[in-house]
Structure 1
């Protein structure tokens, strides 16, 4: 069942109680240590997984949507814990081009009964549905003084680079992958940087 069907299946009486909250759930597929977290306190169960509450240690930018198919960027501000600093330093191998997903989860803010179903405080209502799918890119960090450190995780939507052809760079390796006997790009690095050809 899709997100639309899940939301329609929830009885109107549940929404009308005024006791339904929402939480953003985030999955980051770091190499060796994938993380599932949400921007609240304490762990919660949703969608068959356990999500770690991180409070205000991680914040995310707005998720922009449009009717056109576009690759919207997104950023996360991360607390400069030793674990996150290690990820930032090894970002090329452990972070770059790895999956990131943001979900929205509805939950009961307190116990209630509606539509013939009883809900307990914090219980998930329906399945989480996807708000954003993309890949993690750069993870720049900065420090000033002995205590002030910031880490930013930049992400791109799934349509990032959708118009680029495979092996589409103008370099010798990509050209030889397409045409093994072509030697046209072998000397390209030589011509970069104000090279002037001498004609006889």
Structure 2
């Protein structure tokens, strides 16, 4: 049963009660160390997985919800733990272009009796439904003194380049994907900033 069917299956009496909370479930597929977080405290068993409460996750930038296809970006702010710093330093190989998903889970905010069933406070209700799917990109970090460090994780939505032709950029990676081993664009970046060629006669 899909998320829509799960939501429709929630008893009306519970929905009318109005004591429903929600939390974000985040899966980041870091190479060799995938992480599952949720924006609460303690471990949470949902969808056959264990989600770590809060963990290193601090905040998520606002996510637009609409029925339109969106190319929105999302930015996470992470705690500067040794593990996160190691990932930031190795972002090109362990983070960039790997998948990230954000789902929403509904919870009962207090004990509710619905017909013959009791829903306990904090109990997940229905299946999580997807709010964002994309790929992880840069992981910029900065330190301001010995006690203040911040790490961000920038993520692109799956439809970021939906209007671009496949391999449509004039850069080294696209050229090598078109023609393996071609070196025609390797030196292109050095010509981007007022590069001057001097010819010798």
TM class by shorter chain equals 0.7 to 0.9
Q: Which runs of 5+ in 1 are unaligned?
A: none
Taking the TM superposition and a 5 Å limit, the aligned residue runs for 1:76-95 are: 76-95=76-95
Q: What do residues 123-150 of structure 1 show as CA deviations (whole Å, max 9, x unaligned)?
A: 1111000011111110000001111101
Q: What is the alpha-carbon distance in structure 2 between the residues aligned to residue 60 and residue 105 of structure 1? A: 15
Compute the TM-score of the two structures, normalised by the length of structure 2: 0.84
Given the alignment of the two structures, is residue 46 of structure 1 paired with residue 8 of structure 2, yes or no? no
Secondary structure (helix, strand or coil) at the match of 1:113 reads strand
Report the counterpart of residue 28 of structure 2 in structure 1. 28
Structure-2 change in CA distance of 1:66 and 1:13 (3 Å)? closer
Report the counterpart of residue 14 of structure 1 in structure 2. 14
RMSD: 2.8
Aligned length: 196
Q: 1:84 Cα deviation (Å)?
A: 0.7
Secondary structure (helix, strand or coil) at the match of 1:71 reads coil
Taking the TM superposition and a 5 Å limit, the aligned residue runs for 1:85-124 are: 85-124=85-124
Q: What do residues 74-111 of structure 1 show as CA deviations (whole Å, max 9, x unaligned)?
A: 10010111111111111111111111111110112222
Which aligned segments of 4 or more residues in structure 1 are displaced greater than 6 angstroms? none
Secondary structure (helix, strand or coil) at the match of 2:42 reads coil
Q: Which runs of 5+ in 2 are unaligned?
A: none
Structure-2 change in CA distance of 1:41 and 1:172 (3 Å)? closer
Q: What is the alpha-carbon distance in structure 2 between the residues aligned to residue 152 and residue 130 of structure 1? A: 22
